[in-house]
Structure 1
Amino acid sequence: MTISASSLDALATIEYPEEDDLPMPEGDAQREYLSYATQVLRVFFQERQDVYVSGNLFIYYEQGNTSANVAPDTFVVFGADNHNRGSYKVWEEGGKLPEFVLEITSENTATRDKRDKPALYQKLGIKEYFQYDPTGKYLKLSSLQGKRLENGNYIEIEASTLPDGTLSLFSETLNLELRLYPDKGLRFYDRVSNELLRSYEELEQARLIAERIAKQERKRVDRLTAYLQSLGINPDEVC
């Protein structure tokens, strides 16, 4: 099918909104985990210039149709340049769609997250779709659930339970576990480093703690050095 020059010009003038009038997640829990998931995945993939991580950003998947959009709470696109965008237009990204999507389910989004979005994501070919309900009110069976695309259809990702009661689902696209801790809620876990992924705030807290420990250690060494010198002992000669 050949598109005329006038049609191309018309497509080029279409404006794709970067915001809508829908409310943000209505609870602190939803906001907290939306921010956490996007942050830790950005940190995890920060050295990869071909991985784009974002959240609560419009994805337009049909050129010329501004209503053909969805705004996942957190999503990851492999093969897309890692830079900030006002919105994500699939036709400007070589046709690349997210391979991983996470929705933080709330009262306002429960129906869409359980019924409408799985159907859309399956149709678009998004490989993995996870849902997390931090309140435990809106998802049946488990507050953390995942689906993986196989032969064009979503199948449930089987969960495992760790000895401490933590629920774990593995994301093949991210090569990470999504863990549901009884006391900490949702966390991403890296099997390679055997560590939980940390947010910017958690990384900053860890840095400050390390600095405080190092400072305390320097003071201890200085006190010991001064004590040895008071005894006429050269600290450099002490084994």
Structure 2
Amino acid sequence: MNLISQPLDFEIEYPEADGKPMSESDQTRDYLIYGVEALRRYFSDRSDVYVSGNLFIYYRQGVRDAVVSPDVFVIFGVENKQRRSYKAWEEGGKLPDFVMEITSKTTQYQDEEEKLHKYRNLGVTEYFQYVPTGDYLQPPLKGSRLVEGEYQAIAPTSAINDSPIFYSNVLGLELHLLEGELRFFDPQTGEKLLDFDETEQARQAAEQARQDAIPRLLGMGLSAEQVALALGLSTEEVTNHPIER
């Protein structure tokens, strides 16, 4: 896709919203949020990876209609910072490397026809579709990878309980269906990328485990300073811990 990057002699306003609701259902919204937040946390230590979703991406300067708004997308090679909209000509011409659309019956044609062709022309390397309701796409997750300018279906690498597992070359992650629910997995660790509630539960569990370890370590003869260092706590937290006698 040819990007116009030369300065314009007139000012053009690029809208940041279209006035439409973010999604048409709770499920669509929930998986959009999961995809963006889980991938954002996964790439949080990368200053050159931008993860977002439901954001206007303008790909041709001076043309307000040259815009897409993927549900979830990842762009490599640009600054990891907050944006109100994304203008490719201000970002070195970089466009999404990975896109996922949370599809439904009402958006099926747009996602499978119009957006597929547009993303292909924009050079989006991988394009995934997920249908939370599973009412028309079986299995409810599929992906395509750009090969010599055309999309080719991504074959599952394996399956768990007849649910396919797809590998994303772009993300270096696996996409699983756990009882029909989409989850990203890190194949290096085998760990699932958590949603917000799961992340909070894991944080609370880890904190509780540290607190529970204080009396055990003190009972082994370690000093308060040694326990604090081992658990990543302050000495005051250790000495003020209520130890049952």
Alignment deviations for residues 86-138 of structure 1 (CA, whole Å, 9 cap, x no partner): 10101111000100000001233222111110010001111000000000013
Write the deviation string for residues 184-214 of structure 1: whole angstroms up to 9, x where unpaired. Answer: x100011112211123432221010122233
> Aligned-pair distance for 1:162?
2.6
Q: Structure 1 residue 173 and structure 2 residue 170: aligned? A: yes
State TM-score, norm by structure 1: 0.84
- Aligned equivalents of 2:135, 2:160: Cα separation in 1: 25
Compare 142-151 and 190-199 and name the one that shifted more: 190-199
1:152 corresponds, among 131, 139, 149, to 149
Paired position in structure 1 for 2:197: 201
Residue 69 of structure 2: aligned partner: 71
**Residue type matched to 1:86 in 2?**
R
The residue identity in structure 2 corresponding to 1:109 is: T
Matches within 5 A, 1:157-236: 157-182=154-179, 185-218=181-214, 236=221
The amino acid that maps onto 2:188 is V
Contact 2:8 2:62 in 1 (8 A): no
Aligned to 2:115: 117
Number of equivalenced pairs? 218
Q: Is the 8 A contact 1:105 1:138 kept in 2?
A: no
Distance (whole Å) between structure 1 residues aligned to residue 30 and residue 114 of structure 2: 24
Per-residue deviation, residues 39-86 of structure 1 (Å, max 9, x unmatched): 011011111111100000000011111011010000000001000001
Compute the TM-score of the two structures, normalised by the length of structure 2. 0.83
1:52 maps to 50
| Cα offset, 1:18, TM superposition | 0.4
CA distance in 1, matches of 2:131, 2:160: 22
- 1:2-26 Cα shifts (integer Å, max 9, x gaps): x9x9x7221xx10100000233222
Aligned partners of 1:97, 1:194: CA distance in 2, in Å? 29
Residue ranges of structure 1 left out of the alignment (5+ in a row): 226-234
Pairwise CA RMSD: 2.1
Q: 1:13-28 to 2 correspondence within 5 Å?
A: 13-28=11-26
SS in structure 2 at match of 1:167: strand
Q: Distance in 2 between matches of 1:41 and 1:122?
A: 22
Whichever residue aligns with residue 74 of structure 1, its letter is V
TM superposition shift of 1:169: 0.7
Using the TM superposition, name which of 147-156 and 201-210 deviates more.
201-210
Superposed, 1:70-89 pairs within 5 Å as 70-89=68-87
CA–CA separation in structure 2 for the residues paired with 1:75 and 1:178: 15
Q: How far apart, in 1, do the equivalents of 2:127 and 2:103 lie?
A: 12
Classify 1:215/1:92 alpha carbon distance in 2 versus 1 (closer, same or farther; 3 Å). Answer: same
User: Could you tell me how far apart the structure 2 residues matched to 1:104 and 1:161 are?
Assistant: 22
Counterpart of 2:32 (choices 34, 52, 60) is 34
Distance 1:86 1:147 in 2: 28
Structure 2: segments with no counterpart, 5+ residues: 223-245
1:106 aligns with 104
| CA–CA separation in structure 2 for the residues paired with 1:204 and 1:109 | 33
